[in-house]
Amino acid sequence: MKSVLGDRRAIFLLLAPALTVYSLIILIPVFWSLGYTVFEGNAINGFSFVGLDNIKQLFSDPDVHQALWFTVRFALVLTAVQVALGYLLALLYVFVLRKASNLIRTLVFFPVVLPTVAVSLLFQQLFEYAPRNGPVNSILNVFGIPSVDWFGTSTSSFWVLILMETWRSMGFYAVLLYAGLVDIPEEVLESSRLDGASGLRLVRHIVIPLSMPVLLSSIIFSINGTLKIFDSVIALTNGGPGTSTTPLTVLMFQTSFGYGEYGYGSAIALLLTMLCLIVTIFIFRSSRRDLTKA
C-alpha cells in the first residue's frame, strides 16, 4: 500500500512541473522583490545600493500616505457595502422570492464575469458629464437636478467606483451567502417561529448567528480582494482627479514603470503585501472561535 501511494518517483513527476513553475515565477520573485527594496534604479539602467532609504521614504512620502489611506478606506467601505447588500439579496432569495429566485440569482450574478475594463468604460459613459450628458445625468436632469461632474471631484469619483464595484459583485456575494443561508435547518427556523420570533427578530437572533461562518469568510475574501483593486481604478478614473483615487497597487505601478524606480516600487509592493497579510491574520485570529464552530 505505502509503496504505491507513497511512490517517491511518481510524487516527484506529478509535483515537479507545478512546483518548478510556481517557485520560479512566484516564490523566487517575491524574495527577489524584497531584495529590490534596498536598491535604486531599474532593469534597463542598472541598480545602486541605497540601504533602507526606500523603506524610510515610505513613512514620509505624502503620496504613499494618500494611497494607503485610499486603499484602506476603499476596502473597508466596499466590503461593508457589497457584503451587506449581498446578504440582503441572499435573504431576499431565501425568504421572499423562494422558488422564483433561480432566474434572478443567475441574472444578478452575471456582471461578475464581465471584464472589468469593459464595465469601467461602460460606467465612464454612463456617468459622463462633458462634452455631453450620460444617462445618469440625464435622469438627474429629468428630476430637475443639475448635471454632476462625477469624475471631477475625489469624493464623487470614490463613490462611482464603489457603486460600480457593488454593481459588479453584489450577485457574487449574494450567491456565496445564499449557500450559507440554505444550510440553516428548517426545524430551527420553524421552532423559532413557534416561539414567536418573526421578521427582523428572526433574522437578528437566529439567521445572522447561524450564518456567521460564511459571513465572516465573505468579509475576509472581500477585504483581501478589494485591497488589491487595480483594473477598475486604472480603467475608470486612472487614479484621478489628481492622485486622489490612487490605491497602492496603482501607485506601485506608476512608480515602477512610469518613473523606472524599481526599488521604491518594490517597497510599495511590500507595504501592500504586508497589509493583505495583516488583515488576513487579524480577521482569522479574531474570528477563529466562530470559524471552527460549524
Segment interacting with another protein, rule: CB under 8 A, options 62-70, 143-151, 199-207, 280-288: 280-288
Contacts to another protein from residues 244-273, by CB under 8 A: 248-249, 252-253, 256-257, 262, 265-266, 268-270, 272-273
- Out of 62, 96, 143, 242, the only residue in the binding site for another protein (CB under 8 A) is 96
- Out of 51, 115, 152, 209, the only residue in the binding site for another protein (CB under 8 A) is 115
Counting contacts by CB under 8 A, is residue 148 touching another protein? no
Composition of the chain by helix, strand, coil, percent to 5? 75, 5, 20
Segment interacting with another protein, rule: CB under 8 A, options 3-11, 143-151, 153-161, 199-207: 3-11
**Closest separation in Å from C-beta 39 to another protein:** 10
Segment interacting with another protein, rule: CB under 8 A, options 32-40, 49-57, 62-70, 145-153: 32-40
Question: For the residues of 116-144, what is the DSSP string, one character each?
Answer: HHHHHHHHHHHT--SSS--HHHHHHHHTT
Counting contacts by CB under 8 A, is residue 33 touching another protein? yes
**Closest separation in Å from C-beta 147 to another protein:** 11
Size of the site for another protein (CB under 8 A): 118
**241 preceded by cis ω (within 30°)?**
yes
- Out of 72, 84, 92, 197, the only residue in the binding site for another protein (CB under 8 A) is 92
Contacts to another protein from residues 189-248, by CB under 8 A: 213-214, 217-218, 220-228, 230-231, 234-235, 248
Counting contacts by CB under 8 A, is residue 153 touching another protein? no
Counting contacts by CB under 8 A, is residue 156 touching another protein? no
**Closest separation in Å from C-beta 154 to another protein:** 21
Q: Which residues pair with 48 in a beta bridge?
A: 40
Phi, psi of 197 (to 5 degrees): -80, 135
Contacts to another protein from residues 48-87, by CB under 8 A: none
> What single-letter amino acid sits at 268?
I
233: closest CA among 250, 217, 216? 250
Question: What is the maximal distance between C-alpha atoms in the chain?
Answer: 79
Counting contacts by CB under 8 A, is residue 121 touching another protein? yes
Tell the residue number behind the cell numbers 475608470, with chain if given.
236
Query: In whole angstroms, what is the distance from residue 201 CA to residue 215 CA?
Result: 18
Query: How many helices and strands (H and E) does the chain possess?
Result: 16, 2
164: closest CA among 131, 118, 132? 118
Segment interacting with another protein, rule: CB under 8 A, options 61-69, 134-142, 147-155, 199-207: 134-142
59: exposed, middle or buried (C-beta count within 10 Å: 0-12, 13-18, 19+)? Answer: exposed
Counting contacts by CB under 8 A, is residue 8 touching another protein? yes
**Closest separation in Å from C-beta 24 to another protein:** 8
Query: In whole angstroms, what is the distance from residue 172 CA to residue 124 CA?
Result: 22
Cell of 170: 453584489
Counting contacts by CB under 8 A, is residue 161 touching another protein? no
